[in-house]
Structure 1
Amino acid sequence: MRHLLLASILLLSAPALADTAGDRWFSHVKVLADDNMEGRLTGTPGYDRAAAYVAEQFAKLGLQPAGTDGYLQSVALTEQTLNLPASKLALDGAPLQLGEQVLPGNRVPQMKGPFDAELVFIGSGLHLPEAGHDDFAGIDLKGKIAVVLASGPARISGALKSHARSAELWPAMQRAGAIGLLNIANPNQMDVPWARQKLFANTPGMRLSDPALNDAKQPFFTGSFSPAEAGMLFAKSGHSFADMVKLADAGAELPRFPLNRRLAGEIAAVDRQLTSPNVVGLLPGRDRKLKSEYVVLTAHLDHLGVGQPVNGDAIYNGAMDNASGIASMIETGRALKAKKPKRSVLLVAVTAEERGLLGSRYFANRPTVPADAIVANINMDMYLPLWPFTHVTALGAEESSLGLVSARAAREVGATQVPDEAPERNLFVRSDQYSFVRTGVPALALKFASSNPEQQAIQKDWLTNRYHAPSDDLSQPINPAYAVTFNRYLERLILSVADQPERPRWNEESFFKRFAKAPPAAQ
């Protein structure tokens, strides 16, 4: 109640212009997070209604259609639905409870038919020989199932560890001849409690239908094991799960060893094909030469749909995740149109972020403009305007020249840019800017940063109780005034990138510089 009262006071004292801007921003959030959008699940009528709304807003702004069908770019997807009653798992012959102790994965194609394999603990599961760390080196995984604890040495940057868990993992698994992967979350670093993760056990997963765009080129057994019961996996290894967690919390390198246990079973799954659109609008640049280059602003439009009820509510509205980002995209598009940037700006509302960054990966690899003309990506995902905008984290700021541009834009609105305070949450690879990074495009993802214990408590409470829950709805203390300040920062950031003479560049020491493409030759 105190936060609601504070929000009301700030809104009443805000200048009239900001109040109007806040009303516009919140009007989009209200439409997209309304129950009639049914949680905007990719591939559903609710998502399609949301996409139509965004396309309508782009048209009202006067943005040019830049999809493959007007404002829309259709993305072909393969949906995988697990049949848990028809599936089974056993540890050394003792049955495991699917949906309780183990949650089978649904994004990578599940292995067809029965399996029976040794379990091998490979620490953090990071393949980073360039950083002097490779959990796959010198260990026999052929025909076996790798077990990993989400962690990594403190000496390696959060961004690099996150990259290894994403892009490097499945090729390393394939080279090693492993048949499966069992993940264990660090119980001290979980965004979503296991009790709520279990609610999604029967939710379908997705992958891109074009196999060239997927990291896993073959089926695997995949699953997550309950951290509260993970001790049983280590019971015959001479090590304890509790000791592994202590090492992980200390940022130490984890040992690797056989668990001397076997996992057997079969996961039943069915695939179906569907399509879902990205929504793409173009604001042409005003400079004769630079208008042929593009700054891409992204935010994901999808959320989790209708699922298992929590406190009687089954609609996962996704107000903060990520109706807020789409609302900021629309309002920033309005501001930029009045400023007429030199480079062109693409506004891309992407689908299937919640299913593995699929819409953004498709657009980054199959863009509707020349790929080598995309100079930067700025992404918003669940930036959380729940306290005043005084500090911002720009994920990826240490990797490219965009970091300095962002810090300057923050100062212009009275804010300070700070590093990621929780790199082990893997945020660098958990949202859509990462799809552009992997194609060589410098990119940032923007978040409100907490600056005091009260704000940290608000963030922790939100992640524990509202993140990926039906309570991320319109009843929470959303403050449009905070979002308006963020939007002013976002506008300045994009305008600076669009107007500077030189393209953004990767920093010399950045690992991700290796993905950079040479710019097109001057005409």
Structure 2
Amino acid sequence: MRHLLFASALLFASPVLADAAGDRWMSHVKVLADDNMEGRLTGTPGHERAAAYVANEFRKLGLKPAGTDGFLQPVPLMEQSLDLAASRVALDGRALTLGEQMLPGTRVQQLKGPFDAGLVFIGSGLHLPESGHDDFAGMDLKGKIVVVLAGGPKRLSGALKSHARTAEFWPAMQRAGAIGVINVANPNQMDVPWARQKLFAGTPGMRLADPALNDARQPFFSATFSPADAELLFAKSGHSFADMVKLADVGETLPRFDLNQRLSGTIVAGERQFSSPNVVGLLPGKSRALKGEYVVLSAHLDHVGVDKPVNGDSIYNGAMDNASGIASMIESARAVARKNPKRSILLVAVTGEERGLLGSRYFANRPTVPADGIVANINMDMYLPLWPFTHVTALGAEESGLGLVSARVARDMGLLQVPDEAPERNLFVRSDQYSFVRTGVPALALKFAASTPEQQAIQKDWLTNRYHAPSDDLSQPIEPAHAVAFNKYLVNLITTVANLPERPTWNEESFFKRFAPKAATGAAVSGR
């Protein structure tokens, strides 16, 4: 406790400076979360205005343009819009209410034309044969639609299970010959209540225009099913949805079985191609030997736009998600520039995160600097400065030497780094650091850790009532001093990583080490 009090005294030794830093941070949040940004949906004029603002802030800081068009890197995208009124889906001949019982997916290209397929429950849908678990093995799925419930064996890390549900899932579906998937929402693991999820039923989805950059390389039927109605899917199987949820909640391996029902119907969809920019700024390193290596600081600029109103408000401003992260990116760049780091710092405000990590995936695979020069990624997404900053969670800390570095930086500031308290939320793969992980770059995503019951209650209330809701706006209680404390930690972490004598590497036991180029696999960075 003495360390924490001492650190707090250091962080705020000059109230005037702290207040000025808080005012600057808050000024960016106010601009980006203002109603005139219209929720910053990817591909809209509101997002274009936000990108122009960030580019101008980078320019004022003296950063060098590092996009393909000045500070901008246009990302080619494909948008898919569903016509729910013209679409039809039936379970064993019984019509389902689209937008109520079932929400058809929009990120993966939907099947064109009518379908009629048997349903098979394949547990958690994890394809991890190298880790001794494969829900696809031994199942006849050709021409079938699979039904999955998030979960998996407790012995598998949350990061690994999350990876299997994304990068590994669609290729496994294609190899098995399945034509679609129904994700059944677990009522005990939902950040956004079903009542709010339904509001987005008609919202267009997006994917990268280059098919080679998408996990799903062919059309599939995809949908999410209401937990309140999920027993309908299991009614003829001899099993119950409630029993599957109980097993999933305690980390048991879920059984696999035929559901003895068929799903039929037609989903009507239209598509258009467009582009939306990442914003990229460069702070050149000061070391002749290391300036050709880059530490990427990323945060997503987009949010979910204007949609169905909640309590009369239809603008989803995204103040915490993620104007806060962009504001910290800008202010951290201001401070890091004064420290003359040895490696170069690349600031990337990405588009399309809310539509599937699209901008970061595009940048990680089509970087505007030499790919082999990118040594680390530090990402901020909705880090939630809602209480005093004493504990930090660095998602991915267990996977690479960056975890030891971030823990050391925290310790030196009187902070405590703690593990992810809710790995079942899949946060490791739900934000932009995952795009860099998949190209072999060690990465961390930083969060305020809720270390007391009161803080946990604040976090739960925020996720339930403000996450992806219009109430994530400027009227909520925002304390810039908490963000200033976080920014000081962030600046120290960025500078420390940029000044390491050797580039960070994956830990030997990390599953994700397989993505690293051979030249980048060596001894892990020491945290001493």
TM-score, length-normalised on structure 1?
A: 0.97
For the residue of structure 1 that corresponds to 2:87, the secondary structure is strand
Letter in 2 for 1:474: L
Q: Secondary structure at the match of 1:383?
A: coil
Q: 1:427 — aligned with what?
A: 427
- Aligned sequence identity (%): 80
Amino acid at match of 2:319: A
How far apart are 1:131 and its partner, in Å? 1.2
Distance 1:368 1:243 in 2: 49
**CA-to-aligned-CA distance 1:156-182 (integer Å, 9 cap, x gap):** 000000000010000000000000000
Q: Does residue 1:173 correspond to 2:139, yes or no?
A: no
Letter in 1 for 2:150: A
Amino acid of the residue matched to residue 476 of structure 1? Q
Q: Please state how far the C-alpha of 1:520 moved relative to its aligned partner.
A: 8.1
- Count the aligned residue pairs: 511
Distance 2:46 2:151 in 1: 37
**Are 2:505 and 2:520, in contact at CA under 8 Å, matched by a contact in 1?**
no
Counterpart of 1:346 in structure 2 is 346
CA displacement 1:351-407 (0-9 Å, x = unmatched) = 000000000000000000000000000000000000011111100000000001111
Equivalent in the alignment of 2:134? 134
Distance 1:14 1:226 in 2: 52
The residue number in structure 2 matching 1:4 is none
* Structure 1: distance between partners of 2:376 and 2:520: 15
Tell me, in whole angstroms, the C-alpha distance in 1 between the residues paired with 2:394 and 2:458: 20
- Matched residue, 1:96: 96
Structure 1 pair 371/12, CA: closer, same or farther in 2 (3 Å)? closer
Read off the aligned partner of 1:31 and give its amino acid letter: V
Structure 2 counterpart of 1:165, one-letter code? R
SS at match of 1:455: helix
Match of 2:367 in 1: 367
- Alignment partners' CA distance in 1, 2:227 and 2:412: 44
Aligned residue identity for 1:167: A
CA–CA separation in structure 2 for the residues paired with 1:35 and 1:412: 40
- Give unpaired runs (5+ residues) of structure 2: 1-10, 522-528
Equivalent residue, structure 1, for 2:525: none
1:132-186: CA deviation from partner (whole Å, max 9, x where unpaired):
1100000110000000001111110000000000100000000000000000121
Letter in 1 for 2:512: F
Q: Is the 8 A contact 1:375 1:504 kept in 2?
A: yes
Counterpart in the other structure of 2:8: none
Aligned-pair CA distance for 1:412 = 2.6
- Report the equivalent of 2:452: 452
Distance 1:152 1:474 in 2: 39
Could you list the per-position Cα deviations for residues 179-217 of structure 1 after superposition, in whole angstroms to 9, with x for gaps in the alignment? 000001211110000000000000000000011100101
- How far apart are the structure 1 equivalents of 2:404 and 2:250? 31
Report Cα offsets for 1:93-143 as digits up to 9, x if no partner: 000000000000000000000000000000000001111110000011000
2:239 counterpart of 1:276: no
Separation of aligned partners in 2, 1:145 and 1:518? 38
Report the 3-state secondary structure (helix = DSSP H, G, I; strand = E; otherwise coil) of the residue aligned with 1:339: coil
- SS of the equivalent of 1:273 reads strand
The residue aligned with 1:5 is: none
Gaps of 5+ in 1: 1-10
- How far 1:519 sits from its partner (Å)? 3.8
* Distance in 1 of aligned mates of 2:341 and 2:409: 15
CA distance in structure 1 between the aligned counterparts of 2:252 and 2:14, rounded to whole angstroms: 48
TM-score (norm 2): 0.96
**Is the aligned partner of 1:402 residue 2:402?**
yes
Matched with 1:30 is 30
| 2:12–2:18 contact (8 Å) kept in structure 1 | no
* In the alignment, structure 1 residue 323 sits paired with structure 2 residue 323: yes
Deviation at 1:74, TM superposition (A): 0.4
Q: Is the 8 A contact 2:428 2:434 kept in 1?
A: yes
Give 1:413 deviation, angstroms.
Answer: 2.5
Contact 1:14 1:481 in 2 (8 A): no
Which aligned segments of 4 or more residues in structure 1 are displaced greater than 6 angstroms? 11-14
Answering whether residue 97 of structure 2 is matched by residue 61 of structure 1, we say no
Aligned partner of 2:265 in structure 1 is 265
How many Å separate the matches in 1 of 2:388 and 2:312?
32
- Distance in 1 of aligned mates of 2:313 and 2:13: 34
Which residue is equivalent to 1:114? 114
Instruction: Give the distance between the partners of 2:520 and 2:443, measured in 1 at CA.
Output: 19
CA contact (8 A) 1:78 1:207 kept: yes
Retained in 2: the 8 A contact 1:148–1:183? yes
Q: For residue 244 of structure 2, what is the aligned residue in structure 1?
A: 244
8 Å CA contact retained: 1:32, 1:319: yes
Q: Distance in 1 between matches of 2:335 and 2:511?
A: 34
2:5 maps to what in 1?
A: none
Q: Which amino acid aligns with 1:168?
A: E
Paired position in structure 2 for 1:210: 210
| Aligned equivalent of 1:194 | 194
Q: Tell me the equivalent position of 1:300.
A: 300
Contact residue 413 and residue 488 of structure 1 kept, 8 A:
no
Alpha-carbon distance, 1:13 to partner: 9.8
In structure 2, the residue matched to 1:484 is 484
RMSD over aligned CA atoms reads 1.2
CA gap of 1:519–1:294, structure 2 versus 1, over 3 A, is farther
What displacement does 1:414 show?
A: 2.1
Q: Which structure 2 residues correspond to residues 381-396 of structure 1 after superposition, within 5 A? A: 381-396=381-396
The one-character-per-residue Cα deviations of 1:432-465 (angstroms, maximum 9, x if unpaired) are: 0000000000000011000010000000000000
- Between the aligned partners of 1:205 and 1:359, the Cα distance in structure 2 is 14
User: 3-state SS of the aligned residue for 1:238?
Assistant: coil
Residue 145 (structure 2) pairs with residue 151 (structure 1): no
Tell me: CA distance 1:36–1:12, structure 2 relative to 1, closer, same or farther (3 Å). farther
Distance in 1 between the 2:268 and 2:151 partners?
30
The structural deviation recorded for 1:75 is 0.3
Secondary structure of the structure 2 residue equivalent to 1:376: strand
In structure 1, the residue corresponding to 2:379 is in which secondary structure?
strand
Contact 1:111–1:220 (CA<8 Å) still a contact in 2? yes
Asked if the contact 1:152/1:161 (under 8 Å) is kept, the reply is yes
Q: For 2:165 and 2:455, locate their aligned partners in 1 and report how far apart those are by CA, in whole Å.
A: 29
Give the secondary structure class of the aligned counterpart of 1:290.
coil
Contact 1:353/1:359, CA 8 A, preserved across alignment: yes
Give the drift of 1:409: 1.4
In the alignment, the residues of structure 2 paired with residue 48 and residue 482 of structure 1 have an alpha-carbon distance, to the nearest angstrom, of 29
Q: How many Å separate the matches in 1 of 2:396 and 2:478?
A: 27
Shift in Å, 1:408: 1.2
Distance between the aligned counterparts of 2:13 and 2:432, measured in 1? 35
Q: Which amino acid in structure 2 is aligned with residue 67 of structure 1? A: G
Aligned residue identity for 1:358: L
Q: Is the 8 A contact 1:75 1:275 kept in 2?
A: yes
